[in-house]
Amino acid sequence: MQEKYLPSEIERAAQAQWAASQAYRASDASDRPKYYCLSMFPYPSGKLHMGHVRNYTIGDVLARYHAMRGYNVMQPMGWDAFGLPAENAAIANNVPPAAWTYANIDHMRTQLQALGFAIDWSRELATCKPDYYRWEQWLFTRLFEKGVIYKKMATVNWDPVDATVLANEQVIDGRGWRSGARVEKRDIPMYFFRITQYADELLSGLDNLPGWPERVKTMQANWIGKSVGVRLAFPYELDGHKDTLWVFTTRADTLMGVTFVAVAAEHPLATRAAETNPALAAFIAECKQGSVAEADMATMEKKGMDTGLKVTHPLTGESIPVWVGNYVLMSYGEGAVMAVPAHDERDFGFAQKYGLPIKQVIDHVAIVDARKALATGKNGDQPLTSQDIEKLENFLRTNKYSTDRWHDGYDTKLGICINSGKYDGLGYEAAVDAIAADLAAKALGEKKTQFRLRDWGISRQRYWGCPIPIVHCDTCGDVPVPENQLPVILPEDVVPDGSGNPLNKRADFVNCACPKCGQPARRETDTMDTFVESSWYYARYACPDADAMLDTRANRWLPVDQYIGGIEHAILHLLYARFFHKLMRDEGLVSSDEPFQHLLTQGMVIADTYYREAADGKKTWFNPADVELRDGVATCKTDGQPVTVGGTEKMSKSKNNGVDPQALIDQYGADTARLFTMFAAPPEQSLEWSDAGVEGAHRFLKRLWKAAFDHLQERGSVTAYMSGDSGNLSDETKALRRQLHQTIQKVGDDIERRKQFNTAIAANMELINALAKLEGDDAATRSVRQEVLEAVTAMLAPIVPHISEALHVELKPGAELKPGTAMTWPAVDETALVQDEIELMLQVNGKLRGQIRVSATADKVAIEAAALASESAQKYLEGQPPKKVVVVPGRLVNIVV
């Protein structure tokens, strides 16, 4: 055995052996239980970044652990290869996106292989290849014919100078990123997936996902945003024609407090009013400037203008003014809202600004004053809980929006109706029911379930994406491309220039014959949202060579047992993939209802930032690798001049704070990179980069290597100690065995259930520290040492596979090593865990005041007696009997004096 730990040597050898033996090829026909472990595939941006290393190491740990547990593991890898960055690179470097993308894939594959991931490379796929996207096109045509995909107008960001549609990312402070022109909203025809048809199932399906983090399920539920409310009508008369303005509200109980209604700038009523009102037309035009991003819409100043039109209150017959509000979204509900300034914060602000009346119709104070509601439920609904009361009291005490005694500024349903005629005294539910019934009787409203979720628009006016398989024919209309003409191949030799979609200029692509009538027709040049490709790739891995979208192998592998990826995908990607799975199910392609059984959302990798600011305010960012820190002063290594310390932020190109994993692998080896990323933080938290921490991880691997070397050096390997072996173990050796088997228990639980690898590693470090302290060279001690080393290398194998396998071979020279399969997870020896005496904490009034030792089998009475008899207890009792004694078996005794 080599005395020195030489990572590059053992890693090269191990990886060569894994490749030669196809060690990680998943069997489609195994009778062992399957474990499909999937990490979100990367966008081939150029180089691997630390976020990738973290993501794929987490997946690899779980994959290798389950392999050691006897599962038939599949861990595939592929490339989310279509996307905007390739077009940006094309504009900057004058290379076709395809060439750029394929070069990146080749480089990044090499990097992934250098990290030693147990990936089945035979299943590799890239979404930009026709043999992948042809099936996406095939499904598109089927869904189009079924009506699940349809065409309608939708609003996009329009750059009037570059004459191109901009992504939200390309709109900076309301202007186009390249032209600097003020961005406008423009309506264009687009294809949509009818995801709202599946809204209820996407919501209720969350209940069948116990393996998903609660926060992700909550975010998805809120995104889908199911709300039960009332759709109601405000009748009006315009130019002698009778019509109605519909609104949706979840607060029909406040209907008697409506003082105006507000419509979106795009609302037909606003358009009508603007025809004869130039000031209003100008205001509507102003509303149509700026980006379509909802975050921008929601943070801009609330503005409005009176249309001069009036509608009639459906119950009171009052005349209500109609305003245009820039905060009303045309895409939600009816594009119009009833405004109740007394009980809605936004309406309140708007009414204040424009001097509109405010009418209180809910009394919250009454409920707090009358605490009887707690007992009797007299608010008309459920009795209030003490938590409701506390919340309400706090809210009344702390609200900041009040301009007078009763305005609350919050939207809370805890209250009773006042100033509402026949509805006075009713609580939320009772009032909504009564008002909905009265509206229904007049045919002016009904209860309605509304979703916040909108249909998924997938048309992109971009080149580097999957072509939408539609042909536009003057006589036949939009005709889906028939199956025998698929795929519609995207030409790969195109270099976009940033002004519009270059496919429009390719006559050979655009001009075609109508599949129906044979007449000359035009091919659709829009491509699909890249989220479409990433919505079904997990299924294609099961059968990457199938001559169909999916074959029977899909159901063998699906659902994915463990999915791992960034928290930033909590809503969009994961919701679209769930939706697509249901689409494929309804097409008979898969039989399960959900694609991902367990989900792990990994945190970001962050690092310090350093910069220098020029006179004009422009910042130059320095990479942490080029910065030296001494006594809190940061200097640039190349010129020795100081740099300013910025915040700790997500590793990014723009802040130049990325750490290149390649340099790390070159210097310390893949195992150190893997160990550090798993040790520095639990997977779901953000991980702060630290060069010193990497040193520490490397040091531990050297210690582990040396521990094995020292053990083997003197007399070679021995048979590991097993329960029931003869030979007297010293107390110290027994204690070490107990620690070992406690650790085996803990590490298995940490990896499998808790997915907290940092504590699993720490437990192994403690074990190696304890082993270093164990003295003695008799046969029994040596066999326990062998047992510990074999177990530690096995427990660390999922995390640092190269060194673990190398040590495994040294420790067991006779054993033939089949990579990835020869090592099995160590078993817990229950007899090693038994303890005669245990230590309990002794508290007096909840403060730690000492310890007591009791027999492991002592009952509560015996423990209490021992506690009271102890010196520490006597000291604090001062002869008085205790008020109370709390005994928590196995933990502590608390004496209250």
Name the residue nearer to RNA (CB basis): 84 or 495.
Answer: 84
Closest approach, Cβ 262 to RNA, in A, equals 15
CA–CA separation, 560 vs 538, rounded Å? 8
Residues contacting 695, CB < 8 A, separation 6+: none
Distance of CA 510 to the CA centre of its chain: 38
Stretch that binds RNA, among 115-123, 247-255, 700-708, 800-808 (CB under 7 A): 700-708
Name the residue nearer to RNA (CB basis): 196 or 662.
Answer: 196
CA–CA separation, 512 vs 523, rounded Å? 6
Name the residue nearer to RNA (CB basis): 782 or 849.
Answer: 849
Residue numbers 295-314 binding RNA by CB under 7 A: 295, 298-299
Closest approach, Cβ 880 to RNA, in A, equals 16
The neighbouring-strand residues paired with 660 are none
Can you tell me which of 338, 479, 605, 892 binds RNA, judged by CB under 7 A? 892
Stretch that binds RNA, among 48-56, 211-219, 229-237, 360-368 (CB under 7 A): 211-219
Name the residue nearer to RNA (CB basis): 76 or 819.
Answer: 76
CA–CA separation, 31 vs 49, rounded Å? 37
Residue numbers 447-466 binding RNA by CB under 7 A: 452-454, 456-457, 459-462
Residue numbers 229-288 binding RNA by CB under 7 A: none
DSSP letters, 764-788, are HHHHHHHHHH----SHHHHHHHHHH
Residue numbers 520-559 binding RNA by CB under 7 A: 529-531, 534
Can you tell me which of 146, 215, 637, 818 binds RNA, judged by CB under 7 A? 215
CA–CA separation, 353 vs 403, rounded Å? 13
Residue numbers 648-687 binding RNA by CB under 7 A: 649-650, 679-682, 685-687
Can you tell me which of 2, 21, 110, 222 binds RNA, judged by CB under 7 A? 222
Residue numbers 826-885 binding RNA by CB under 7 A: 839, 841, 843, 845-849, 884
For β-strands 416-417 and 362-363, DSSP reports them as: antiparallel
Name the residue nearer to RNA (CB basis): 85 or 211.
Answer: 85
Give the residue among 600, 647, 599, 639 at the shortest CA–CA distance from 619: 647
Q: Is residue 423 within 8 Å of 380, Cβ to Cβ?
A: no
Residue 481, helix vs strand vs coil: coil
Name the residue nearer to RNA (CB basis): 544 or 682.
Answer: 682
Can you tell me which of 446, 497, 766, 871 binds RNA, judged by CB under 7 A? 766
Residue numbers 782-821 binding RNA by CB under 7 A: none
CA–CA separation, 566 vs 600, rounded Å? 8
Residue numbers 718-757 binding RNA by CB under 7 A: 746, 749-750, 754, 756
Name the residue nearer to RNA (CB basis): 474 or 691.
Answer: 691
Q: Is residue 788 within 8 Å of 771, Cβ to Cβ?
A: yes
Name the residue nearer to RNA (CB basis): 250 or 419.
Answer: 250
Name the residue nearer to RNA (CB basis): 437 or 896.
Answer: 896
Give the residue among 813, 762, 680, 804 at the shortest CA–CA distance from 5: 804
CA–CA separation, 609 vs 307, rounded Å? 51
CA–CA separation, 393 vs 399, rounded Å? 10
Q: Is residue 415 within 8 Å of 428, Cβ to Cβ?
A: yes
Binding mask 318-337 toward RNA (x if CB under 7 A, else -) reads: --------------------
Give the residue among 852, 241, 151 at the shortest CA–CA distance from 524: 151
Stretch that binds RNA, among 101-109, 214-222, 423-431, 810-818 (CB under 7 A): 214-222
Closest approach, Cβ 765 to RNA, in A, equals 4
Q: Is residue 754 within 8 Å of 708, Cβ to Cβ?
A: no
Residues contacting 389, CB < 8 A, separation 6+: 368, 371, 374
Residue 302 region, left (φ>0) first, then alpha (ψ -120 to 50), else beta? beta
Can you tell me which of 165, 367, 435, 788 binds RNA, judged by CB under 7 A? 165
Strand ranges (E), 550-669 = 560-566, 596-602, 605-613, 619-622, 627-630, 633-636, 644-650
Can you tell me which of 556, 703, 734, 738 binds RNA, judged by CB under 7 A? 703
Can you tell me which of 19, 772, 815, 827 binds RNA, judged by CB under 7 A? 772
Closest approach, Cβ 322 to RNA, in A, equals 23
How many chain residues are in contact with RNA, going by CB under 7 A?
A: 107
Binding mask 569-588 toward RNA (x if CB under 7 A, else -) reads: xxxxx---------------
For β-strands 72-74 and 34-39, DSSP reports them as: parallel
Name the residue nearer to RNA (CB basis): 43 or 234.
Answer: 43
Residue type, 555: N
Identify how many contiguous H helices and E strands the chain contains and give both numbers.
29, 37
The neighbouring-strand residues paired with 34 are 72
Which tokens sit at 523? 């091919």
Stretch that binds RNA, among 24-32, 257-265, 698-706, 785-793 (CB under 7 A): 698-706
Residue 835 region, left (φ>0) first, then alpha (ψ -120 to 50), else beta? beta
Q: Does 604 bind RNA (CB under 7 A)?
A: yes
Binding mask 467-496 toward RNA (x if CB under 7 A, else -) reads: ------------------------------
Closest approach, Cβ 702 to RNA, in A, equals 6
Residue 611 region, left (φ>0) first, then alpha (ψ -120 to 50), else beta? beta
Residue type, 290: G
Residues contacting 110, CB < 8 A, separation 6+: none
Binding mask 397-436 toward RNA (x if CB under 7 A, else -) reads: -x--------------------------------------
Closest approach, Cβ 581 to RNA, in A, equals 18
Element (H, E) at 282: helix 278-287
Name the residue nearer to RNA (CB basis): 226 or 272.
Answer: 226
Half-sphere exposure for 750 (CA within 13 Å, toward CB):
25
Closest approach, Cβ 510 to RNA, in A, equals 19
Q: Does 292 bind RNA (CB under 7 A)?
A: yes
Nearest 5°: the CA angle 365, 369, 373 is: 100
Residue numbers 88-147 binding RNA by CB under 7 A: none
CA dihedral 148, 154, 158, 160 (to 10 degrees): 120
Can you tell me which of 283, 700, 721, 825 binds RNA, judged by CB under 7 A? 700
Can you tell me which of 172, 285, 437, 886 binds RNA, judged by CB under 7 A? 886
Name the residue nearer to RNA (CB basis): 294 or 778.
Answer: 294
Q: Does 696 bind RNA (CB under 7 A)?
A: yes
Name the residue nearer to RNA (CB basis): 722 or 772.
Answer: 772
Name the residue nearer to RNA (CB basis): 277 or 793.
Answer: 793
Residue numbers 611-650 binding RNA by CB under 7 A: 647, 649-650
Name the residue nearer to RNA (CB basis): 82 or 536.
Answer: 82
**CA atoms 314, 317, 318, 323: torsion sign:** positive
Residue numbers 36-95 binding RNA by CB under 7 A: 43, 80, 82-85
For β-strands 892-896 and 837-844, DSSP reports them as: parallel
Element (H, E) at 156: strand 149-159
Instruction: Give the helix ranges, DSSP H, for 337-461.
Output: 345-354, 365-369, 372-376, 386-398, 428-441
Stretch that binds RNA, among 164-172, 317-325, 496-504, 507-515 (CB under 7 A): 164-172
Residue numbers 335-394 binding RNA by CB under 7 A: 345, 387, 390-391, 394
The Cβ of residue 896 has, within 10 Å, a number of other Cβ atoms equal to 12
Closest approach, Cβ 530 to RNA, in A, equals 5
Closest approach, Cβ 15 to RNA, in A, equals 25
